[in-house]
Amino acid sequence: MRIRDLLVLALLCCAPLAAAGGEPSQHEVLHFSANLMFWEYVTFGIIFLVLGLKVIPMMLKQLGTRQASIKDALDKADQVRAEAEVLLKNHEQMMRNAHADAKKITDDAIIAARETAAKITADAEAAGRETRDRAQKELEQMRRKAEAELRDASIELALLAGSSVLERSLTGDDHRRLAKEAIDASALMKN
């Protein structure tokens, strides 16, 4: 028999029989019936046996299964958390390494830029010195050339003046020789 059938049978046995036309009287409700008490104990025993032999072991088995699955889930969660912590530490280490590498690259770039700037400055200064030296040499050459031209012009003027003063005609070579001697003598006097 099924449990439902047993319960229906127990309820039918326990129900007081109603009076012929209506509701039970107060005396019938409070009246002690051994027959009713017996069937209540039998029903309680049957329910207790069914619960004890079938339902409670099945519930305990399901609870054990659920407890095991929860324990497995917690173990997996702990394992995943531990792996996540390891990955986080690895990630943090990688970030520190990346920052250190970036700082090293930046520092190297700054040093290279300073070295390049110093080299460019040195090259520019060397080029400026070279240009200044070349300009001074050119000026010196131009000064010498101008002095030579001035000397030649002075000789010509001196020859012209000398020939007018002497009124005598000297040859061009005589004039030049005399002028050159005068200029050489004046150059010696300067030194």
- Please, what is the average pLDDT of the chain? 81
Secondary structure of the chain as H, E, C letters: CCHHHHHHHHHHHHCCCCCCCCCCCHHHHHCCCHHHHHHHHHHHHHHHHHHHHHHHHHHHHHHHHHHHHHHHHHHHHHHHHHHHHHHHHHHHHHHHHHHHHHHHHHHHHHHHHHHHHHHHHHHHHHHHHHHHHHHHHHHHHHHHHHHHHHHHHHHHHHHHHHHHHHCCCCCHHHHHHHHHHHHHHHHHHHC
Angle between helices 34-50 and 3-14 in degrees, nearest 10: 160
What range defines the domain where residue 150 resides?
A: 144-190
166 occurs within a structural domain:
yes
- 33 neighbors 16 (Cβ within 8 angstroms): yes
117 occurs within a structural domain:
no
162 vs 34 pLDDT, higher one: 34
39 occurs within a structural domain:
no
CA distance 101 to 94: 10
Confidence of residue 20 (pLDDT cuts 50, 70, 90): very low
The per-residue pLDDT for 67 is 94
9 occurs within a structural domain:
no
CA distance 181 to 173: 12
Q: What are phi and psi of 170, to 5 degrees?
A: -105, 160
**pLDDT of 77-92, one tens digit each?**
999 999 999 999 999 9
135 occurs within a structural domain:
no
The per-residue pLDDT for 26 is 58
80 occurs within a structural domain:
no
The per-residue pLDDT for 18 is 43
CA distance 117 to 189: 53
101 vs 29 pLDDT, higher one: 101
Query: Span 181-185, mean pLDDT?
Result: 74
Which tokens belong to 71? 């324990």
Which tokens belong to 41? 């104990």
Domains in the chain, number:
1
**pLDDT of 109-154, one tens digit each?**
999 999 999 999 999 999 999 999 999 999 999 988 888 888 777 7
35 occurs within a structural domain:
no
176 occurs within a structural domain:
yes
